[in-house]
Chain A
Amino acid sequence: MTASVIASEPPRSPFALTDDQRALKETAGEFAAERIAPEAVRWDRDKHFPVDVLAEAGRLGMGGIYVDEQYGGTGLSRFDAALVFEELATGCPTIAAYISIHNMVAWMIDAFGDQRQREQWLPELCAMRSLGSYCLTEPEAGSDAAALRTRAVLDGDEYVVNGVKQFISGSGYSDVYVVMVRTGESGSGGISTLVIDGRSEGISFGPEESKMGWNAQPTRQVVFSDVRVPVRNRLGEEGIGFRIAMSGLDGGRLNIGACSLGGARAALERSLTYVGQRSAFGSRLGDFQALRFKLADMATELEAARTLLWRAAAALDAKDPEATRLCAMAKRLATDSGFNVANEALQLYGGYGYLSEYGMEKIVRDLRVHQILEGTNEIMRLIISRGLLESNQ
């Protein structure tokens, strides 16, 4: 007689979340549902940047999600962060996205700063008692960021900074500005990164831009006129600033993709409820097969994008050499799918989708910019194709 088959546990799915991850996701989801979602439409309408809610998020550990615990961070992985940002964005993509930018700033200081710099800025940033802004784009240098012209000229043990940064999220409110400046020759090799205090003399801010979406966070120019910045505020060596800026963006792209997933998921969930309640031609909307198929496609697109995003996040955590390319792919897919799904969800709401009151058009407006910033989706294709062609040689 042969032995009977022993009942065994099914193999663990590589996509299964741990207890910790489920708890993190649940907390971020509850925070989004209770502290963010109920106010999101009002904040958008009033162009209100809720710094008090950000401080509360900071107390929970959302200000330095993947920053070293020694400096007040939470020490989690990029994968964990992707879960958190998707949940936060179900409450409001704009707030979630600002928290992402803030985290990118904190991480750059953690990753490239020395001990003194980390001690100086990170505890306050991690608690979100001070806020951070990432300053790369200029009026004449967007996609081609390496063409930036903001100059930092050495004068004794200080740099004198002159120039204009464009489209800076959080500016005016932020305390800590991580600024890419030109210290050397033209091109990417002549760029350095300075951490500049928002109260420095000579720093000023343009008016708040009037925007299609992302109204719950300010976007302004930052103008530097003879701003004196101590040399000890430079992150790393001179000339590595472009590398610092780009490595910050790998994680930033994952987060912004996750924000699109969260916003779109919220829109999809609402439309599911809506088609169950609304009737036309004597049937529930949800009984029309055309709409059921549409919903099936929306759910599929989101799941596909999420799966790629998780894969890219795991690659970044594992320092996989493919990580940059995967992050670009994930950002492209998640932000395109996220926008499309939200837009379809609005369509399912009919005319009500177009009214502000229902919150659907706000999600669409918010998600639109995710296809543009942190590198446009054309630039994502540039990065992906570059890798493809190189690896084929």
Chain B
Amino acid sequence: MNIVVLVKQVPDTWSERKLSDSDHTLDRASADAVLDEINERAVEEALLAKEAHGGEVTALCMGPERATEAIRKALSMGADKAVHLSDEALHGTDAVGTAKALAKVVGTLESVDMIIAGNESTDGRSGAVPAMLAELLGWPQLTYARSLSLDGSTVTIERETDAGVTSVRAELPAVVSVTEKINEPRYPSFKGIMAAKKKPVSTLTLADAGIDAGEVGLSGALTQMVSSAPAPPKEAGQQVTDEGDGGTRIVEFLSGKNLV
């Protein structure tokens, strides 16, 4: 069972996140960068599958040079090796471009049985890359998994969305995206941390992966960010002291907003 986990470095959700003024892309330098939490769960799920069925886990990351830190985290948790697609020309790539680039890199890897990703990243939140990647590879897609089980040549998930829970099965190879409910990711062990730097990481440029530079980057993006504005500061809420009329005042408030 050879599994590729997609990992992404994102600004820490606790830190203040900003868009750059010039091209409305994420200002990655301004925030602490971490391995996306949901990716930690994707890595965990891949490791569990490996522990049960053998094989290898490869972390695949597209991102700037600094993303090596996120890759290291995946390796210290127990992934066997990593592929890092890193090229200046990738700056500003949109979701479609990302899926195309990732599909090319997956094509360079040998015998991949399953790709596991988070259902969305905590920064971009397009939530589309896993499905697009499956489409490009011509593989089945099982998205929003809250549980995953493997049985020989098939993978079954419980798919949880606002519409309810469905059980979905596909033949391998397949792309699975997981939600944050799927597991509790392990802490990297101290040995894992020390071993991480000795694990192979191959760094690829666009040319190495055979990616057409015209399909990625800001210029290759099919979508364009036209403008952006910082979120308005939160305003203090209205406080109501209950003087025996609390219930009435709540109803007044709600009906004032046409909520009841």
Q: Do A and B bind each other?
A: yes
Residues of A within 8 A of B (CB): 19-20, 23-24, 27, 30-31, 59-62, 65, 69, 74-76
Interchain CB contact under 8 A, B188 and A27: yes
If over half of B's interface residues share one DSSP class (helix, strand or loop), that class is named, otherwise mixed; here it is helix
Given B72, B73, B190, B196, which contacts A61 in the complex, CB threshold below 8 Å?
B190
8 Å CB interface, B183-201 against A? 187-191, 193-194, 196-197
- Tell me which residues across on chain B come within 8 A of A74, comparing CB atoms: 190-191, 194
- Tell me which residues across on chain B come within 8 A of A30, comparing CB atoms: 187
Given B72, B73, B190, B197, which contacts A24 in the complex, CB threshold below 8 Å?
B190
Q: In the assembly, what is the distance between CA of A61 and CA of B194, in Å?
A: 11
Min CB–CB distance B37 → chain A (angstroms): 12
- Tell me which residues across on chain A come within 8 A of B189, comparing CB atoms: 59-61
8 Å CB interface, B65-102 against A? 72-73, 76
Interchain CB contact under 8 A, B187 and A20: no
- Tell me which residues across on chain A come within 8 A of B73, comparing CB atoms: 23
Give 16 CB contacts A-B under 8 Å. Answer: A19-B72, A20-B194, A20-B197, A23-B72, A23-B73, A23-B76, A23-B196, A24-B193, A27-B187, A27-B193, A59-B189, A60-B188, A60-B190, A69-B191, A74-B190, A76-B194
- Tell me which residues across on chain B come within 8 A of A20, comparing CB atoms: 193-194, 197
Min CB–CB distance A302 → chain B (angstroms): 22
Given A19, A61, A69, A76, which contacts B197 in the complex, CB threshold below 8 Å?
A19
Q: In the assembly, what is the distance between CA of A106 and CA of B224, in Å?
A: 60
- Tell me which residues across on chain B come within 8 A of A23, comparing CB atoms: 72-73, 76, 188, 193, 196
Q: Nearest CB to that of A30 among chain B residues?
A: B187
Q: In the assembly, what is the distance between CA of A30 and CA of B37, in Å?
A: 13
Min CB–CB distance B66 → chain A (angstroms): 12
Besides the known contacts A19-B72, A60-B189, 14 further A-B residue pairs in the complex with CB atoms under 8 A apart: A23-B72, A24-B190, A27-B188, A31-B187, A59-B189, A60-B187, A60-B190, A61-B189, A61-B190, A61-B191, A62-B190, A69-B191, A75-B194, A76-B194
Interface residues on B, range: 10 to 19
Q: In the assembly, what is the distance between CA of A301 and CA of B193, in Å?
A: 31
Q: In the assembly, what is the distance between CA of A226 and CA of B61, in Å?
A: 63
Q: In the assembly, what is the distance between CA of A30 and CA of B77, in Å?
A: 14
Min CB–CB distance B148 → chain A (angstroms): 23
Q: In the assembly, what is the distance between CA of A60 and CA of B190, in Å?
A: 6
Interface pairs A-B: 6 shortest CB-CB: A61-B190, A74-B190, A23-B193, A60-B189, A61-B189, A61-B191
Q: In the assembly, what is the distance between CA of A31 and CA of B189, in Å?
A: 11
Q: Assuming A19-B72, A23-B72, A23-B76, is B187 touching A76 (CB within 8 A)?
A: no
- Tell me which residues across on chain B come within 8 A of A76, comparing CB atoms: 190, 194
Most B Cβ at <10 Å: residue of A27, A59, A69: A27
Q: In the assembly, what is the distance between CA of A61 and CA of B73, in Å?
A: 16
- Tell me which residues across on chain A come within 8 A of B197, comparing CB atoms: 19-20
- Tell me which residues across on chain B come within 8 A of A19, comparing CB atoms: 72, 197
Min CB–CB distance B206 → chain A (angstroms): 27
Q: In the assembly, what is the distance between CA of A62 and CA of B187, in Å?
A: 12
Q: In the assembly, what is the distance between CA of A60 and CA of B187, in Å?
A: 7
Q: In the assembly, what is the distance between CA of A20 and CA of B73, in Å?
A: 11
Interchain CB contact under 8 A, B190 and A65: yes
Q: In the assembly, what is the distance between CA of A66 and CA of B213, in Å?
A: 49
Q: Nearest CB to that of A35 among chain B residues?
A: B187
Min CB–CB distance A66 → chain B (angstroms): 11
Most A Cβ at <10 Å: residue of B72, B190, B196, B197: B190
Bits for B155-192, please: 1 = Cβ < 8 Å to A, else 0.
00000000000000000000000000000000111110
Q: Nearest CB to that of A56 among chain B residues?
A: B187
Q: Nearest CB to that of B188 among chain A residues?
A: A27
Min CB–CB distance B197 → chain A (angstroms): 7
Q: In the assembly, what is the distance between CA of A30 and CA of B189, in Å?
A: 12
Q: In the assembly, what is the distance between CA of A275 and CA of B72, in Å?
A: 37
Q: In the assembly, what is the distance between CA of A30 and CA of B72, in Å?
A: 16
- Tell me which residues across on chain B come within 8 A of A24, comparing CB atoms: 190, 193
8 Å CB interface, B128-146 against A? none
Q: Nearest CB to that of B191 among chain A residues?
A: A61
Q: In the assembly, what is the distance between CA of A74 and CA of B188, in Å?
A: 13
Q: Nearest CB to that of B68 among chain A residues?
A: A19
Min CB–CB distance A70 → chain B (angstroms): 13
- Tell me which residues across on chain A come within 8 A of B193, comparing CB atoms: 20, 23-24, 27
Most B Cβ at <10 Å: residue of A23, A31, A60, A75: A23
Most B Cβ at <10 Å: residue of A61, A65, A75: A61
Min CB–CB distance A277 → chain B (angstroms): 14
Min CB–CB distance B190 → chain A (angstroms): 3
Interchain CB contact under 8 A, A27 and B72: no
Q: In the assembly, what is the distance between CA of A76 and CA of B193, in Å?
A: 11
Q: Nearest CB to that of A64 among chain B residues?
A: B190
- Tell me which residues across on chain B come within 8 A of A62, comparing CB atoms: 190
- Tell me which residues across on chain B come within 8 A of A60, comparing CB atoms: 187-190
Min CB–CB distance A105 → chain B (angstroms): 18
Q: Nearest CB to that of B76 among chain A residues?
A: A23
- Tell me which residues across on chain B come within 8 A of A61, comparing CB atoms: 189-191
Min CB–CB distance B247 → chain A (angstroms): 31
Q: In the assembly, what is the distance between CA of A24 and CA of B190, in Å?
A: 6
Q: Nearest CB to that of B194 among chain A residues?
A: A20
Min CB–CB distance B185 → chain A (angstroms): 11
Q: Nearest CB to that of B190 among chain A residues?
A: A61
Q: Nearest CB to that of A75 among chain B residues?
A: B194
Q: Nearest CB to that of B73 among chain A residues?
A: A23
Q: In the assembly, what is the distance between CA of A30 and CA of B73, in Å?
A: 13
Q: In the assembly, what is the distance between CA of A306 and CA of B67, in Å?
A: 30
Min CB–CB distance B15 → chain A (angstroms): 15
Q: In the assembly, what is the distance between CA of A76 and CA of B187, in Å?
A: 18
Q: In the assembly, what is the distance between CA of A74 and CA of B187, in Å?
A: 15
Q: In the assembly, what is the distance between CA of A76 and CA of B192, in Å?
A: 13
Min CB–CB distance B200 → chain A (angstroms): 17
Q: In the assembly, what is the distance between CA of A62 and CA of B192, in Å?
A: 12
